[in-house]
Amino acid sequence: MSDAEGPITLREFSEMDVERLKGVGEKKAEALRTVGIDNVLDLLTHYPRRWIDRTNEARIRDLLPGEQALVLVTVQAISGRRTRGRPPKSLVTADVTDGSGHLRVTFFNQAWRERQLSPGTQAALFGKLELFNGRKQMTSPIVDLIGDKTGKVVPIYPQSEKAGLTTSDIGTFVAEVLRRSTVRGILDPVPADVLARFDLVGREAAIRGIHGPDGMDEQDRARERLVFDELLGIQLALVLRKQALEQTARGIRHDVSGELVDRFLGRLPFDLTAGQRDAIAALSADLAGPHPMHRLLQGDVGAGKTVVAVTALLAAVEGGHQGALMAPTEVLAEQHALGVRPLLAGLTVGAGEGAGQLFDQRELAVGLLTNRTTAKERERLLVGLAEGTVDVVIGTHALIEEGIAFRSLGVVVVDEQHRFGVEQRAALRDKGAGGVVPDVLVMTATPIPRTAAMTVYGDLDVTEIKTAPEGRKPITTVWERTRPHADGQLSLAELAVWDHVKREVEAGHQAFVVCPLIEESEKLEVRSAQATFDELDAGPLAGLRLGLLHGRLRPTAKEATMEQFRAARLDVLVATSVIEVGVDVPNATVMVILDADRFGIAQLHQLRGRVGRAQLPSWCYLVAAGQSPDAERRLEALCDPKSGQDGFVLAEVDLEVRGEGTVFATRQKGRNDLKLASLLRDRGVVARAREVAFELVGADPGLARHAELLDEVTLFLDEDEREFLAKS
């Protein structure tokens, strides 16, 4: 396709405008751009969304009513008219055949179909077969124009009716690229021994096989290779980033043999679990090393991650440095402060030269910094952080604002990592003094499927705590099915759960009631919470002491309500999902989640984790109609007596139910969503790609001997990522 020599690289394809192709003028090029195809590489990676196996395709004569099928047909006749109803609708009717039988196809309010499906047009139709007056028909099926395709396997591409692009157009353009690439061939930068080890076909065979296979076996082999390439590129970028951090960042060698951590652990009123001990050992090894720690700590609800994190913060303080814990919300930051301060109360540290102290020892100082911190307290904290007299600070993103300076930041803990962007994590890390990068521990109580963790957080070392503290009892989870009234509203008085709530309160315990999540509107959530509070207070829970908590309460009111609930001066806390993480009230034994089918699995599991935090039997009631198959699957998974308590199992179910489309909201900036690979379907390939990435970078740091492969990695990164890797 050019005068250059040697096989064509992906970068060369990326530098070729689609207007170089026959039949792609200015208008067609603009249409291609609307679907994200700017260059020839974009075109080659615009993969078919499905394939029709013409040796095994569905035939009209064999279809049964109610059956969904994909049929390849030729249009015989088509007509359009306006219906007589009010308002009138356009109705287009087409008669089609595949040689085995005839089918009537109808489209409502799609008058343009009459122009699109002229007699003689070949199309693939996907829809549900119906019988109308004894005749087979489909109503508004998915339509793909395929042109005159005679091969055994017909690829169907994602197309844009708005842009006027058909699957036939895409197929024709791709075929031209492949035809013009025959002389030079297409470069394959993956080492031959890697291909042989995993029995993978060559790059060129894979690209040709995905776009124009002779059989479904060829398509399968092609997909297997291209999925490996896609995942290997991501893993190489992550491993290179990890290597760059280790080689270029100047860290702190913390003294983990000090007695401050031992004093802290010796004061705990409980024994550490095996998982906590293993996690502390992994962190200690990182902290003692010359390179900055970059570790992800995963632990299920109530697994004891906070204690592990505090040991890392104390290791920093032991050496005269400071620790910072950043949480995504004020409520969680305040909860951390309430939990950590008593754990550290009475611990003393060396006063230090710059502390202005008269004595050799002083009490370890813990600060809290959020947007609610008063101006006077904020000023006092800023001075303490700059001078080093505040040893540990807990806060929200307020910690990374300009003007916040640390005397010597040694360890950073980022809680609920998925709520922060990569820039926020980096901003806190950059608070280190004198070019020294503090050790970073990111935590999540929302377990991530292993394949997603390897892809999303692949540049972090991963530690999992899977053992719950001794004495924790499983939470009995019950799905209370409901039927909303005609107006769509739920009548709270009709629910059976309130009798159980009253019995638990009579026994001296407490309960949460979580109001439904209503779109992305805090105002609507507040209205819902207030209405629920009023209805319960006047109805089924009349006579009990109810409190109300939502995101728009003033800080003092929110703090007062939480304090009353912790002190058992309230029986029931009616709240929005603001209590999802961090709220710790061991005396609470019942969690009622209204309209639970509006929440995802991870959020329901987090909310449920607000009870069962002591050795008391506890219950979670999921109040929901379960109006979709996906909602039913989520609720049934949580109620499973065997695996419904395990956040890691639930994370896998969540991935299956919702797919991985939103997984990459947390992915490293600059990497595109996967075009062909699936974290669910391709679990094994993720692991293989990661294994190969470590092997290649380990034997060839910086990939100096694999220049073509490195060029492909940087091709799919944005400017910031390329600059970062270039510095290494």
Confidence class of residue 654 from pLDDT cuts 50, 70 and 90? confident
Which residue's entry shows tokens 């739920």? 490
Question: Mean pLDDT over residues 375-386, rounded?
Answer: 94
Q: Does the pLDDT at position 461 exceed 90?
A: no
585 domain residue, yes or no? yes
Please, what is the Cα angle at 626 between 625 and 627, to 5 degrees? Answer: 95
List all residues 6 or more positions away from 35 whose beta carbon is below 8 Å from its beta carbon.
46, 158, 159, 160, 163, 165
Question: Mean pLDDT over residues 580-602, rounded?
Answer: 83
Co-location of 136 and 278 in the same domain: no
Co-location of 284 and 176 in the same domain: no
Q: Which of 407, 326, 410, 406 is nearest to 368 (CA)?
A: 326
Query: 371-380, 398-407, 668-677: lowest mean pLDDT where?
Result: 668-677
Joined together, the tokens standing for residue 592 give 């009622």
Give the torsion through C-alpha atoms of 231, 235, 236, 241, to 10 deg.
150
Q: Does the pLDDT at position 667 exceed 80?
A: no
For the chain, what percent of residues have pLDDT higher than 70?
86
Tally the domains of the chain.
4
Joined together, the tokens standing for residue 220 give 């399968």
511-525 pLDDT tens trace: 999 987 654 455 555
More confident residue, 119 or 89: 119
List all residues 6 or more positions away from 673 whose beta carbon is below 8 Å from its beta carbon.
661, 664
Q: Which of 413, 332, 225, 324 is nearest to 580 (CA)?
A: 332
More confident residue, 674 or 198: 198
Backbone angles phi, psi at 24, to 5 degrees: -105, 95
728 domain residue, yes or no? no
- Contact by Cβ (8 Å): 263, 315: no
Structure confidence at residue 166 (pLDDT)? 82
Between CA 221 and CA 46 the distance in angstroms is 18
Query: 88-102, 224-238, 480-494: lowest mean pLDDT where?
Result: 480-494
Confidence class of residue 664 from pLDDT cuts 50, 70 and 90? very low
554-571 pLDDT tens trace: 777 887 888 899 899 999
Task: Output the domain CATH number for residue 111.
Answer: 2.40.50.140
More confident residue, 349 or 450: 349
Question: Mean pLDDT over residues 580-585, rounded?
Answer: 66
Task: Output the domain CATH number for residue 554.
Answer: 3.40.50.300
Query: 183-197, 348-362, 602-616: lowest mean pLDDT where?
Result: 348-362
461 domain residue, yes or no? no
Element (H, E) at 222: helix 216-248
706-727 pLDDT tens trace: 999 999 998 887 656 555 544 4
690 domain residue, yes or no? no
Question: Mean pLDDT over residues 13-20, rounded?
Answer: 94
Co-location of 330 and 373 in the same domain: yes
Co-location of 43 and 85 in the same domain: no
Q: Does the pLDDT at position 358 exceed 70?
A: no
CB neighbour burial string for 317-328, b if at least 16 within 10 angstroms, e if fewer? bbbbbbbbbbbb
- What one-letter code names the amino acid at 65? P
Q: Does the pLDDT at position 281 exceed 50?
A: yes
Question: Mean pLDDT over residues 443-460, rounded?
Answer: 70
Structure confidence at residue 353 (pLDDT)? 44
Please count the CA atoms within 13 angstroms of the CA of 380 that sit on its side-chain side.
9
Co-location of 111 and 4 in the same domain: no
Q: How far is CA 134 from CA 73, 96, 103, in A?
A: 20, 16, 11
Structure confidence at residue 362 (pLDDT)? 87
Structure confidence at residue 570 (pLDDT)? 95
Which residue's entry shows tokens 């009490």? 363
Structure confidence at residue 69 (pLDDT)? 85
Q: Does the pLDDT at position 368 exceed 90?
A: yes
Question: Mean pLDDT over residues 57-72, rounded?
Answer: 89
Q: Does the pLDDT at position 356 exceed 60?
A: no
* 345: containing domain: 260-288+304-444
Q: Pick from 98, 125, 147: which residue ends a domain?
A: 147
More confident residue, 142 or 96: 96
More confident residue, 19 or 492: 19
Co-location of 521 and 631 in the same domain: yes
Co-location of 276 and 328 in the same domain: yes
670 domain residue, yes or no? no
- Contact by Cβ (8 Å): 631, 597: yes
CB atoms within 10 A of CB 185: 13
In DSSP notation, 154-218 reads EEE---BTTTTB-HHHHHHHHHHHHHHTTTT-B---S-HHHHHHTTPPPHHHHHHHHHS-SSHHH
Between CA 520 and CA 497 the distance in angstroms is 28
Joined together, the tokens standing for residue 153 give 């396997």
Between CA 348 and CA 191 the distance in angstroms is 57
The 3-state secondary structure of 303-314 reads CCHHHHHHHHHH
Q: Pick from 395, 424, 444: which residue ends a domain?
A: 444
276 domain residue, yes or no? yes
What is the distance, to the nearest Å, from the Cα of residue 422 to the centroid of all Cα atoms in its chain? Answer: 13
Please count the CA atoms within 13 angstroms of the CA of 287 that sit on its side-chain side.
29
CB atoms within 10 A of CB 490: 19
Q: Does the pLDDT at position 699 exceed 80?
A: yes
600-609 pLDDT tens trace: 888 888 889 8
Structure confidence at residue 723 (pLDDT)? 53
Between CA 272 and CA 656 the distance in angstroms is 34
Q: Does the pLDDT at position 642 exceed 80?
A: no
Query: 341-355, 634-648, 704-718: lowest mean pLDDT where?
Result: 341-355
List strand residue ranges (DSSP E) for 39-139, in order: 50-53, 68-82, 90-97, 102-108, 122-128, 130-132, 135-139
- Contact by Cβ (8 Å): 31, 160: yes
Co-location of 639 and 518 in the same domain: yes
Indicate the average pLDDT of the chain. 84
Hey, which residues does 318 pair with through a beta bridge?
Answer: none
Number of H helices, E strands in the chain: 24, 24
Please, what is the Cα angle at 579 between 398 and 431, to 5 degrees? Answer: 20
Structure confidence at residue 519 (pLDDT)? 46
224 domain residue, yes or no? no
What does DSSP assign to residue 471?
A: T
Question: Mean pLDDT over residues 260-271, rounded?
Answer: 89
Between CA 414 and CA 420 the distance in angstroms is 9
Co-location of 490 and 589 in the same domain: yes
For the chain, what percent of residues have pLDDT higher than 90?
43
Structure confidence at residue 490 (pLDDT)? 64
Which range in 256-265, 359-368, 497-506, 589-598 is most confidently predicted, on average pLDDT?
A: 497-506
More confident residue, 311 or 680: 311
Confidence class of residue 660 from pLDDT cuts 50, 70 and 90? low
Q: Which of 400, 52, 421, 401 is nearest to 412 (CA)?
A: 400
Query: 234-243, 294-303, 646-655: lowest mean pLDDT where?
Result: 646-655
- What one-letter code names the amino acid at 681? R
623-637 pLDDT tens trace: 988 777 888 888 999
The answer, as to whether pTM is greater than 0.75, is no
- What one-letter code names the amino acid at 467? T
Co-location of 176 and 38 in the same domain: yes
- Contact by Cβ (8 Å): 702, 676: no
Structure confidence at residue 323 (pLDDT)? 94
Q: Does the pLDDT at position 366 exceed 60?
A: yes
More confident residue, 174 or 160: 174
Structure confidence at residue 517 (pLDDT)? 60
Q: How far is CA 540 from CA 31, 249, 513, 550, in A?
A: 60, 60, 13, 21
Largest CA-CA distance found in the chain, in angstroms, rounded: 98
Which residue's entry shows tokens 């006077």? 376
Confidence class of residue 282 from pLDDT cuts 50, 70 and 90? very high
Q: Which of 696, 714, 674, 684 is nearest to 194 (CA)?
A: 696
More confident residue, 615 or 189: 189
Backbone angles phi, psi at 274, to 5 degrees: -60, -40
77-104 pLDDT tens trace: 999 998 877 788 889 999 999 999 999 9
Q: Pick from 444, 467, 498: which residue ends a domain?
A: 444
Which residue's entry shows tokens 């608070």? 431
369 domain residue, yes or no? yes
- Contact by Cβ (8 Å): 561, 549: yes
- Contact by Cβ (8 Å): 154, 212: no
Joined together, the tokens standing for residue 603 give 């959020």
Co-location of 617 and 501 in the same domain: yes
Please, what is the Cα angle at 589 between 329 and 644, to 5 degrees? Answer: 80
Which range in 150-164, 379-393, 565-579 is most confidently predicted, on average pLDDT?
A: 379-393
Co-location of 479 and 615 in the same domain: yes
Give the torsion through C-alpha atoms of 381, 383, 388, 390, to 10 deg.
-10
List strand residue ranges (DSSP E) for 445-531, in order: 461-465, 475-481, 510-514
CB neighbour burial string for 550-586, b if at least 16 within 10 angstroms, e if fewer? bbebeeeebbebbeebbeeebbbbbbbbbbbbbbbbe
User: Is residue 619 classed as helix, strand or coil in its secondary structure?
Assistant: strand
Between CA 286 and CA 251 the distance in angstroms is 10
Q: Does the pLDDT at position 392 exceed 60?
A: yes
Q: Does the pLDDT at position 118 exceed 70?
A: yes
Between CA 130 and CA 233 the distance in angstroms is 46
